Amino acid sequence: MLKQIIDKISKDGSFSELFRTYLVGAFNLLFGLFLVYIFQFILLDFVSFPLRTYLTNIFQFIVGVTVSYFLSRKFIFKLKFNDGNYKEFFKYVSISFINLFVPLFVWFLINLWNENWQQNELYVLIITTLIHGSILPIKYLIYKFFVFKDSL
């Protein structure tokens, strides 16, 4: 049974790619949450709120999008790491700005409503998870039909 599931996931096709997108997305989310925690509560501890939250999202984006690009090439679309080009990477980064601006906008709105949430570790992790999880399917479609279309 497990072998059949693994075989189905490893085959090519939109369903398999979408499923692998969620697997890579789950890894990216965990990695991103780790980065958010490190930046928000350790490395940028000397910066006051709300600037700390905005800087955290920017730094997490820079590191996360680079890692995500290579994971997407290799595991979602089964392309070689080193066959990409600057144009493709630029498209990927451009589309990935969704990951930067949506969270910044949501945190801006949250700050207007309840500024204490960004100071609570649990709320930061939950809200970040909800934000990124909700935009993942949209990003998959854009990556498939815009970013990696020439390489597929």
Q: What's the pLDDT tens digit per position in 47-80?
A: 998 899 889 988 998 999 999 999 999 988 888 8
The token pair that represents 94 in the structure block: 């451009």
Peptide bond into 137 cis (omega under 30): no
pLDDT at 100: 76
Domain-located, residue 25: no
Provide mean pLDDT across the span 101-122: 86
- Give the count of domains, the chain: 1
Q: What pLDDT sits at residue 55? A: 93
Q: Is 63 inside any structural domain?
A: yes
Would 86 be classed as within a structural domain?
yes
In a domain, 29, yes or no: no
Residue 11 lies in a domain: no
CA distance 70 to 74: 6
Task: Check: CB of residue 15 under 8 Å from CB of residue 142.
Answer: no
In a domain, residue 130? The reply is: yes
Tens of pLDDT, residues 12-27: 677 788 788 888 988 9
Q: Examine residue 28 and state whether it is found in any structural domain, yes or no.
A: no
Q: Is the pTM of this model over 0.85?
A: no
> Looking at the domain assignment, is residue 57 inside a domain?
yes
The whole domain housing 68 covers 35-147
